[in-house]
Structure 1
Amino acid sequence: MGRLVPQLLGSIPRRGRGADARRCHPPHDLLPDRVPLSLSRPPEGRRVKLEVLTIGTELLLGHTVDTNAAELGRALAAAGAEIVRRTTVPDRPDVIRAAVAEALDRTGFVITTGGLGPTRDDMTKTVVAELLDKRLVLDERLLAAVVERFQRMGRPMPAINRTQAQVPEGAVVLPNPRGTAPGLWVEDGRGRVVVLLPGVPREMRGLLVEHVLPRLVERQGPDARRVVQSRTVRTTGVSESALAERVGDIEAEIAPLTLAYLPSVEGVDLRVTAWALEPAEAEQRIAAAVERLRIAADGHAYGTDNADLAAVVLETLRRGRHRLGVAESCTGGMIAERITAIPGASDTFIGGVVAYADVIKTAALKVPLETLEAHGAVSEETVRAMADGTQRLFSVDCTIAVTGIAGPGGGTPEKPVGTVWLAARVHTTTRAVKRVFPGDRDEIRRRAAQAGLDLLRRLVVEP
């Protein structure tokens, strides 16, 4: 078990906010980065079935994105638990009681987050104690720890915080050095379990890794372990449905491996997961599946796992001893920002121009005025001239140029919002493509930056 807990810790994403956070994060922040490559898991029949209950009115009102649920889901599944349901309820004792009771009837094991603070709307502990017919008793050691925590901050403990030292009779206290609300592991006479965790993300995460996961693994038994591997094939420039058509046959053939489609603004990730008795077996099975998926993606796959397209492009250019310059209009420097975020980019990336106004296109990039007048700023002719002018300006052999209409205004029936022309140039070869991207202004610009990078990648790799 000592080897397992660090692996589970690595499985929990470090970004995002949880049930007690006070600002929202976009949905892509909830997407997990990667499941660790070796985790214990019991065979079928030995897995603990459980439910997750997140508590907080702010979650239902959309004021807070509940990333705690995502962290719990990934870590618990990696530990071998079967999560059969996840429920979110408001800070209402009647609703909390009903949700916990129903979950216990279904699985006999519930993990809750939120509602453990000292204020009037923190009622989880009281509700669970009443439901399991247990008295709340004062834990003197816990009270002393709360008092000491306030003393370290140079403040007296408010009387209201005394309630945080009250625990259901017979409960196992899970110490929380990161806050004043401890976690609780409560069992009733029928062997049913309710685990209460605070909603503050770092507090929840610490208690989960240090106390809950080891107990969960122990509950399943040391002889009930298998390993899981999960790998990701990263693609761009292809829709989820089109990608599914390409890899559909493979998806059926690689069973019982599972395949998940994870779309985002920048592309679609294919995450394949394999379970096996031994790590080597899982690795072999998943490696074969990843290679088949990469080939089936037909050029749209640019890397695996945490690969970043800008880093892939930069390394490809570096190997070929290329030098890069960029010209951006609607993306406003996004491509240059992504490239310069990579350490060591200066050995390949020379510079960029944000040619937002037509006067900059003509003055800096030498785009002919007659080209702009005849075809407009958003056109194949203009973007080709931008790519050519960038090559001359920076004395480089590779360039990317982007011009488009990001909206929300500026569109026409012939050139609607989302219309983007992109060009990539390598030596004397220029490839230009037109795209009409969906989404709001930010999404269109991000899609365009990704498409510009990918256009150059494909021109270098597949001239």
Structure 2
Amino acid sequence: MNLEIVTIGDELLLGFTIDTNAAHLARELAALGVRIVRRTTCGDDATSIQSAVRDALDRTGAVITTGGLGPTADDMTKPAIAELFGQPMVLDPQILTNLQERWRKRFNHELPVSNHQQAMVPQGATILTNNFGSAPGIWLEDERGRWVAMLPGVPREMRGMLADTIMPRLRDRVPAGGAVIRSRTLRTANIAESALADRLGELARGIDGLSLAYLPGSDGVDLRLTSWDRDARATSAALDSAAALVREKVAPFVYGEGDDDLAALMLAECAARNATLAVAESCTGGMLGMRLTAVPGSSRTVLGGTIAYANEVKTRELGVPAAVIAEHGAVSEAVARAMATGVRLRFGSTIGLGITGIAGPDGGTPEKPVGTVWVAVDIDGDVRAVRATLPGDRHEIRWRAAQLVLDRLRKAFSRDMDATGWTSRS
């Protein structure tokens, strides 16, 4: 089945709201074998909505819209699409009663007049129950079998209704045992997209009919394999085989799959080793600690950390000798090592991580340009460090520096002591 998505809202066009709904719809529907062939965003006016939906219906005959189902004047989705189908808007007494009861129960007063609009529906439409908000969804289908499903724009409501009402309907329309669309993502860190392509060689063009996409981001480059035309069993086998081939070529750089987070993975590894962790941060200003403590259960492993932004704090709190800073500079291998060791000793942890660098936008020099970072890993006194020049703006450099030290911890655990850039043991 081919399908199109139309997301509606001026706030999407203006960039004030990020369209997460279309991405979620595409991911969920692909597993059913529903192929999203086009995604369109339009504003909150009837002409734009009708144009986008009309064109989508002409191409595929199946459309899901999100947004424009609320009580205000700019919520035009239902009347615009009703007119497109040649149906008048009528009051649904049951929806109105439900809305009135909801307002009395939740807000202890009568339903505002403006909300009565939410009880107006296209004649002949099927009402889709919304268990997560006030605006019901609408399913409108014509005699030719073309249909539009209208869902709210609020992400929590849209996702709930998709699972409760749309997915069951579509399962009945997609042939059993047919082709499914599924992906497998391998997550890599600290290797460039071009370097990955070189290592993959001919595999970079695709594997056994599966496409291979490179998805660079602040965490690294994700490698996404996608199967389009196989049934569920053949898809799983093909993805398993292709992922194994990719791992064989780039194994030292792969840290996880799917939505794996490197901070969570490293905390799990620490827990398995009964290891504790402390962090010393300069340029990242607490970002590493934030990432670690965002993981539930991190308190069993993370003992604490120090944001040593000023040089005197590095000396006073972490024991970094002032003479070392004077000789080598705050952004140096010697200081990163001293920070990792200092924080490990101060907190009595098994592991100490240190980060120092120049996040910009100023402060760089020809020898140490913006993006220069040194990170160090101290595991029970075995200290190793690495320098990198990271791309991006200030936020991206700081995030990548935190990812770099987490990945170096991973390499230390795997005893990958030949990792590019590792300095020798102190």
Query: What TM-score comes out, normalization by structure 2 length?
Result: 0.87
Is residue 96 from structure 1 mapped to residue 49 from structure 2 by the alignment? yes
SS of 2:318's equivalent in the other structure is coil
Q: Cα offset for 1:395? A: 5.6
SS of 1:100's equivalent in the other structure is helix
**1:426, 1:460 within 8 Å by CA — same for their partners in 2?**
no
**Larger CA deviation: 295-304 vs 443-452:** 295-304
**Partner of 2:406 in structure 1?**
453
Could you tell me which of 33, 54, 58 is aligned with 1:80? 33
**Could you tell me how far apart the structure 2 residues matched to 1:90 and 1:229 are?**
31
Is residue 213 from structure 1 mapped to residue 167 from structure 2 by the alignment? yes
Q: Cα offset for 1:237? A: 0.6
**Partner of 1:186 in structure 2?**
140
Q: Cα offset for 1:292? A: 2.2
**1:139, 1:165 within 8 Å by CA — same for their partners in 2?**
yes
**Partner of 2:378 in structure 1?**
425
Is residue 202 from structure 1 mapped to residue 160 from structure 2 by the alignment? no
Q: Cα offset for 1:79? A: 2.1
**Could you tell me how far apart the structure 1 residues matched to 2:174 and 2:302 are?**
53
Could you tell me which of 3, 11, 22 is aligned with 1:69? 22
**1:391, 1:399 within 8 Å by CA — same for their partners in 2?**
yes
> 1:339–1:120: structure 2 CA closer, same or farther, 3 Å change rule?
closer
**Partner of 2:61 in structure 1?**
108
**2:33, 2:180 within 8 Å by CA — same for their partners in 1?**
no
Per-residue deviation, residues 390-423 of structure 1 (Å, max 9, x unmatched): 4554566643222111223322233222211122
**Partner of 1:156 in structure 2?**
110
**1:265, 1:447 within 8 Å by CA — same for their partners in 2?**
yes
**Partner of 1:56 in structure 2?**
9
Percent identity, please: 51
SS of 1:297's equivalent in the other structure is helix
**Could you tell me how far apart the structure 2 residues matched to 1:64 and 1:97 are?**
22
**Could you tell me how far apart the structure 1 residues matched to 2:302 and 2:129 are?**
51
**2:85, 2:142 within 8 Å by CA — same for their partners in 1?**
yes
* RMSD of equivalent CA atoms: 2.7
Q: Cα offset for 1:443? A: 1.8
**2:205, 2:212 within 8 Å by CA — same for their partners in 1?**
no
**Partner of 1:43 in structure 2?**
none
Query: What TM-score comes out, normalization by structure 1 length?
Result: 0.81
Q: Cα offset for 1:121? A: 1.4
Could you tell me which of 277, 288, 307 is aligned with 1:335? 288
Q: Cα offset for 1:175? A: 2.4
**Partner of 1:263 in structure 2?**
216
**Could you tell me how far apart the structure 1 residues matched to 2:139 and 2:5 are?**
14
SS of 2:134's equivalent in the other structure is coil
SS of 2:260's equivalent in the other structure is coil
**Larger CA deviation: 91-100 vs 149-158:** 149-158
Aligned residues: 414
Could you tell me which of 235, 249, 259 is aligned with 1:296? 249
**Partner of 1:377 in structure 2?**
330
Per-residue deviation, residues 121-173 of structure 1 (Å, max 9, x unmatched): 11221121222211222222223222322332322223333332222222112
Q: 1:303-382 residue pairs with structure 2 within 5 A?
A: 303-317=256-270, 324-342=277-295, 349-382=302-335
**Partner of 2:424 in structure 1?**
none
SS of 2:110's equivalent in the other structure is coil
**2:218, 2:400 within 8 Å by CA — same for their partners in 1?**
yes
Amino acid at match of 1:68: N
Unaligned runs of 5+ in 2: 418-426
Is residue 277 from structure 1 mapped to residue 240 from structure 2 by the alignment? no
**1:326, 1:399 within 8 Å by CA — same for their partners in 2?**
yes
> 1:245–1:180: structure 2 CA closer, same or farther, 3 Å change rule?
same
Could you tell me which of 103, 106, 117 is aligned with 2:70? 117
**Partner of 2:423 in structure 1?**
none
SS of 1:261's equivalent in the other structure is strand
Unaligned runs of 5+ in 1: 1-46
> 1:168–1:445: structure 2 CA closer, same or farther, 3 Å change rule?
same
Q: Cα offset for 1:439? A: 2.0
Per-residue deviation, residues 3-31 of structure 1 (Å, max 9, x unmatched): xxxxxxxxxxxxxxxxxxxxxxxxxxxxx
**Could you tell me how far apart the structure 1 residues matched to 2:221 and 2:278 are?**
27
> 1:210–1:410: structure 2 CA closer, same or farther, 3 Å change rule?
same
Q: Cα offset for 1:342? A: 4.7
Is residue 139 from structure 1 mapped to residue 122 from structure 2 by the alignment? no
> 1:120–1:278: structure 2 CA closer, same or farther, 3 Å change rule?
closer
Amino acid at match of 1:362: T
Higher RCO, Cα 8 Å, sep 6+: 1
